[in-house]
Amino acid sequence: MTILVTGATGHVGRAVLDALVAAGQDVRASSRDAAKLDVPDGVAKVSADLEDASTLEPALEGISAVFLYTQRQGIDGFVKTAEAAGVRHVVLLSSAATLEPDAAESRIALMHRAVEQALAAASFASTALNPGAFATNTLGWRADIAEGVVRTAYPDSRIGAIHERDIADVAARVLIDGSHDGESLALTGPEPISFREQAEVLADVLGRPLRVEELTKDQAIERMLALGWPAEVPASVLGAWERTLREPSLVTDVVREVTGHAPRTFRQWAEEHRADFA
C-alpha cells in the first residue's frame, strides 16, 4: 500500500508524512514543486498541482490512500483522477467550521463543505478531519513577541487549540487502517485555552515577559490580511472567537479515541516550537 501526502511542505502535511514513515508505511510526498520538498530517506517525491489535473495522474499512479488538503480548487479533477487510479480512501484536512450551526452562512465552511461533498459523492471511501484552531496559528505572533507583546483581538476567547502532530496521528491511523469511512471527526486539543493564557505559557517557555495588547476587530482583520489570510476568512474566524466569549468552546476526545493517546497540551506545543520564536 502506497499513501500519497499532499501539501507535504505544510505543518500538518509534514507531520502526517513523519507519522506514516514512523509507522513503516510506503509514502509518496507531493507539492506543486517537488524540488522544494525536504523528506525523510526513502520517501518518493512528486510534483502535483491540484488545480492542474494533468499533474495528478502520475502523482496518483499506484496510490491506495491519500491525505488531501485543498479548498475547492481542482477538487473535481482530483476526484476523477483518483477514481481512475483506483484510490480506495481519501482523508481530508477540512475545518471545524463545517460542523458549526451557522455553517450555511460561513464562507470558510462553504469552501470546505464543497470539498467534503465532492469526496462523499466519489466511489472511494473518504473521511473528513475537522480541527478547530491550530496551535501553529500562534507562530503569527513571532514579530510581536520579538517586541515583548502579543497583539490579538478577543484575548479572552477560549479555543481548543490542537497540536499539528495530533491531527497527523489521527490522519495516519485512518489512512493505515481505512477506518471512519463517511465520518467527520471533530478534532481539538485537550482543553479550551484563551489567547491570554497562550501568551502566558509562551512567556514562561521562552523565559521573557509578554504583555497582551487587545486589537479591535478591524485592526485584527487588517493584520490577518497582511499575513496572507484569504480575504473571505478573517471575519468568520473573528466571529467564532467572539462567540466563545459567551459560549463554551468545543472540546472533544476524538484524538484519544482514534489514536489511543491523549491530545497534546499547548505547553507541549510551545516547548517543541521554542526555537521558532528565537
CA 118/CA 160 separation, integer angstroms: 28
Examine the pLDDT at 234 and tell me if it is beyond 80.
yes
Instruction: Output b/e per residue, 173-197; b: 16+ Cβ within 10 A.
Output: bbbbeeebeeebbbbbbbebbbbbb
Phi then psi for 126, rounded to 5 degrees?
Answer: -150, 150
Least confident of 15-29, 32-46, 98-112: 98-112
Per-residue pLDDT, 89: 98
pLDDT-based confidence at residue 252 (cuts at 50, 70, 90): very high
Mean pLDDT of 81-107: 87
pLDDT over 70 percentage in the chain: 98
Does domain 2-133+163-188+250-263 fall under CATH 3.40.50.720? My reply is: yes
Strand duo 2-5 + 26-31: pairing: parallel
Q: What is the 3-state secondary structure (H, E, C) of 154-166?
A: CCCCEECCECHHH
| Rounded alpha-carbon distances, angstroms, from residue 62 to 45, 53, 121, 126, 227 | 14, 17, 22, 18, 38
pLDDT at 189: 97
Q: What is the pLDDT of residue 72?
A: 67
pLDDT, tens only, 141-196: 999 999 999 999 999 999 999 999 999 999 999 999 999 999 999 999 999 999 99
Instruction: Outline where DSSP puts E strands in 54-136.
Output: 65-68, 89-93, 125-131
Say what the pLDDT of residue 104 is: 64
Record the pTM.
0.94
Top-confidence residue, 207 or 102: 207
CA distance 199 to 210: 7
Is the pLDDT reported for residue 102 higher than 80?
Answer: no
Domain ranges, ordered by start, for the chain: 2-133+163-188+250-263
b/e map 69-81, b = 16+ CB within 10 Å: bbbeebbebbbeb
In this prediction, residue 260 carries a pLDDT of 97
- Asked if 100 and 106 touch (Cβ cutoff 8 Å), the reply is yes
At residue 71, the pLDDT reads 67
